[in-house]
Amino acid sequence: MYKKQIVVIIIVVAIMGFLYSRDLVGVKKSGDDTGHTNATAAQKRPVVNVTVEMASAAAKIAIGPTLSEQISNTENQLKNTADESAKLSLQKKLAQQWDDVNQPAPAAFYYQAVAQKENTFGDWLTAGSHFNDAFRFDQDTVSQPSYVSNAIACLEKATKMQPANLDAETGLGVAYVNQFTLGIGQDGGGPPKGVTLLLDVVGKDPNNINANFNLGMFAVTSRQYDKAVQRFKTVIEHSPKPGFEPYFYLAECYRQLGMKPEAITAYQKSRDLMPDTAIDKKIDGYIKELKN
Contact 132, 117 (CB under 8 A): no
Q: Where are the domains of the chain?
A: 2-291
Res 121: pLDDT:
98
* Cα–Cα distance, 132 to 35 (Å, whole number): 24
* Cα–Cα distance, 174 to 218 (Å, whole number): 9
Per-residue pLDDT of the chain (292 residues; tens, 9 = 90+): 334 433 444 455 455 555 544 443 333 333 343 445 444 444 455 567 899 999 999 999 999 999 999 999 999 999 999 999 999 999 999 999 999 999 999 999 999 999 999 999 999 999 999 999 999 888 788 899 999 999 999 999 999 999 999 999 999 999 999 998 888 765 555 568 899 999 999 999 999 999 999 999 999 988 999 999 999 999 999 999 888 899 999 999 999 999 999 999 999 999 888 766 667 778 888 898 898 8
Res 20: pLDDT:
44
Please give the backbone phi and psi of residue 30, each rounded to the nearest 5 degrees, phi first: -140, 135
Res 40: pLDDT:
46
Q: Which CATH architecture has domain 2-291?
A: Alpha Horseshoe (1.25)
* Cα–Cα distance, 21 to 103 (Å, whole number): 23
* Cα–Cα distance, 14 to 20 (Å, whole number): 10
Q: Can you give the pTM of this predicted structure?
A: 0.83
Q: What share of the chain is helix, strand, coil (3-state, %, to 5)?
A: 75, 0, 25
Left, alpha or beta for 191 (phi > 0: left; psi -120 to 50: alpha)? beta
Res 44: pLDDT:
52
